[in-house]
A and B are shown apart, each in its own frame.
Chain A
Amino acid sequence: MTRDPLGRPPAALMVPAAVAVLLLVVPLVAMVAATDWATLPEQLTSEPVLDALRLSVVTSTAAMLVCLVLGLPVAWLLARVAFRGRGLLRALVTVPLVLPPVVAGIALRSAFGRTGVIGEPLLELTGFAFPFTTWGVVLAHVFVSLPFVVIAIEGALRSADPVYDAASATLGATRWTTFRRVTVPLAMPGILAGMVLGWSRSLGEFGATITFNGNYPGTTQTMPTLIYVARQSDQDAAQALSLIMLALSIAVLLLLRDRWLGTP
């Protein structure tokens, strides 16, 4: 370590920092250490695990795409259009970010449940109801992930210089053309980062999903809910599943760092 010209970092800061790092790292290392590697392949290829893994990846990917289609316009609106109530809209969009996921599940039930404000007429009109279906899982994922995606993309749009939008307008482009050909391409790294963030948030989503959809293998049982169930009956399985999630999380982090965030 090179000598810091400002002096040695004080112990009053270094000690809590070290504790914080240990607190974050030790449980993960312990989990890896406690894994029964002999039975791991067998655990990971069992049918409930593969079903849950497949369902998790499919629903998280679907939720990510929905978040992109719905979240990008909201982010653009917040970043590029001056209107009354913009602050309020941003606050409303951000609420699910700080909401306990179980509460999100209850809220979804009130709106999209079989007797919900939207759920009941929907059921009467089409015979379809969200709860306890894979669609319900995607809906719950979107609800909790969308704020992350909107905030991340809005940040990316804000950091892009608005002079390019102005240049585009003077060249005769409509706002839609400007959005497609200038705004989005310039903010693409941030948009991709937002999508990955949304995807990983969906992947780990537990509270809202289980509250709104229950825990049915094959239709609503995702990895986190399977881990929750397995934890009570089969410790080793829970351990193995958690290992997969850890590996996926680290992969996402690496992807974000190397490709888009550009941090050393």
Chain B
Amino acid sequence: MSAGGLEVDLEVPGRVRAAFSARPGRVVALIGPNGAGKSSLVHALAGLVPAQGRAHLDGVDLLPLSAREREVGLVFQDRALFPHLTARENVAFGPRSRGVPRRVARERADHWLGRMGLPELAGRRPRQLSGGQAQRVAIARALATEPRLLLLDEPMAGLDVGVAMALRLELARHLRDYDGVTLLVTHDAIDALTLADEVVVLDEGRVAQEGTPDDVAAHPRTDHVARLVGLNVLRDQEGFTSFRPRDVTVSLRRPEGSARLTWSGPVASAQQHGDAVRLLVDTRPPLLADVTPQAVAELGIAPGREVWLSVKATAVRRYGAVPEGR
């Protein structure tokens, strides 16, 4: 076991069981559907939920420590800024609680608010801040305690698309400079791809996949990730098969010809996707298919209509049978 970074092998009974590790300075994205155990895992690492097992941070086991004794910063999903304190007082709260003199804590708060680009908002209360500003204050508050592990629980949740994009870029810059471990809970593939060095996929309370963002995006092993990155993934005894929705051909009759995989089922939904229309078809399992708007009109596609899907064997990728074991 290495001394630096995060080594986790823990269980929150009934919620999640996960093992993974991260070196200092790395950003790990934790993705998975609702109920996969992401928040439980994060709260267990913060010390807010009891857990069994071990979670070593720079060689120190966190689990026997109370929340306040851990060198862990948590940015809550709903931010949880203290509504009765100003932005500066919010950020200074951590240092003050750890015994830093009032004046020094204030200076440190101003420093962090400055780094987050909010020096002029120090005197405002949370309700006077926009969503993006409040999220920056929340991040500054977590970082001001100089944690060795930074936990970000859905930091972009509830923000407008443009605001989220700006915050994502800014966060990427800060995380590059941060020498502790960052654990980023997200349900957004863009967050994982742009911010993370590694991705841990949780599904039904277990680690379903682990790898670099590129690898996970190219070889998804769960329906959730497949949907996130817009790929079709099929699972069988020998491994996984994936293909892009635009490589799928849609027809009303069973397609002829060799070297094709075929399925049939009713159209469940149709949505604009770029300049194509993305169909979700209720085959077993459900698959995505991109067709042109003209094809939709010609084939008379509407929800409930039975269609055949096929894909050329050459457009299909097959990979690993056994998830990388830990």
Chain A residues proximal to chain B, CB less than 8 Å: 161, 163-164, 166-174, 177, 181-182, 185-186
Contact = CB atoms under 8 A, between A and B. Distances in A.
Contacts of B82: 164, 167-168, 182, 186
Given A167-B82, A170-B47, A170-B68, 18 more contacts: A163-B76, A166-B76, A167-B74, A168-B93, A169-B47, A170-B67, A170-B70, A170-B72, A170-B74, A170-B142, A171-B68, A171-B73, A171-B94, A172-B98, A177-B97, A182-B82, A185-B84, A186-B83
Interface residues of B, number: 23
A234 B82 CA distance: 57
A171 B80 contact: no
Interface of B: 46-48, 66-68, 70, 72-74, 76, 78, 80, 82-84, 93-94, 97-98, 141-142, 145
Contacts of B94: 171-172
- Residue of B73, B84, B97, B98 with most chain A CB atoms under a 10 A cut-off: B97
B145 A171 contact: yes
Contacts of A181: 93
A174 B84 CA distance: 19
Contacts of A169: 47-48, 66-68
16 contacts: A163-B78, A163-B80, A167-B74, A167-B82, A169-B47, A169-B68, A170-B47, A170-B67, A170-B68, A171-B73, A171-B93, A172-B97, A173-B93, A173-B97, A177-B97, A185-B84
A167 B67 CA distance: 10
A173 B69 CA distance: 9
Contacts of B48: 166, 169-170
Contacts of B72: 170
Contact of A170 (B73, B78, B83): B73
A163 B48 CA distance: 10
Contact of A174 (B47, B97, B141, B145): B97
Contact of A164 (B80, B98, B142): B80
A185 B89 CA distance: 14
For the complex of A and B, 9 pairs with smallest distance between CB atoms: A173-B97, A171-B94, A169-B67, A167-B80, A172-B97, A172-B98, A170-B74, A163-B80, A185-B84
A166 B68 contact: no
Contact of B84 (A166, A172, A186): A186
A114 B73 CA distance: 58
A174 to B, nearest CB: 6
A31 B156 CA distance: 63
Given A166-B48, A167-B74, A173 B80 contact: no
Given A163-B76, A163-B78, A168 B97 contact: yes
A177 B78 CA distance: 22
Given A171-B141, A172-B68, A166 B97 contact: no
A168 B83 CA distance: 12
Contacts of A174: 68, 97
B312 to A, nearest CB: 52
A224 to B, nearest CB: 38
A174 B47 CA distance: 14
Contacts of A161: 80
A170 B72 CA distance: 7
A173 B68 contact: yes
A163 B94 CA distance: 15
Nearest to A177: B97
- Residue of B80, B141, B142 with most chain A CB atoms under a 10 A cut-off: B80
B159 to A, nearest CB: 19
- Residue of A161, A166, A172, A186 with most chain B CB atoms under a 10 A cut-off: A172
Contacts of A170: 46-48, 67-68, 70, 72-74, 142
A182 B145 CA distance: 18
Nearest to A174: B68
A173 B105 CA distance: 14
A64 to B, nearest CB: 23
A174 B67 CA distance: 10
Nearest to A163: B80
- Residue of A166, A168, A169, A171 with most chain B CB atoms under a 10 A cut-off: A171
A218 B295 CA distance: 97
Contacts of A171: 68, 73, 93-94, 97, 141, 145
- Residue of A169, A170, A173 with most chain B CB atoms under a 10 A cut-off: A170
A171 B78 CA distance: 16
Nearest to A185: B84
A166 B141 contact: no
A167 B97 contact: no
Contacts of A168: 82, 93, 97
Contacts of A185: 84
Nearest to B67: A169
Nearest to B93: A171
Nearest to B81: A167
Contacts of A163: 76, 78, 80
A156 to B, nearest CB: 14
A218 to B, nearest CB: 44
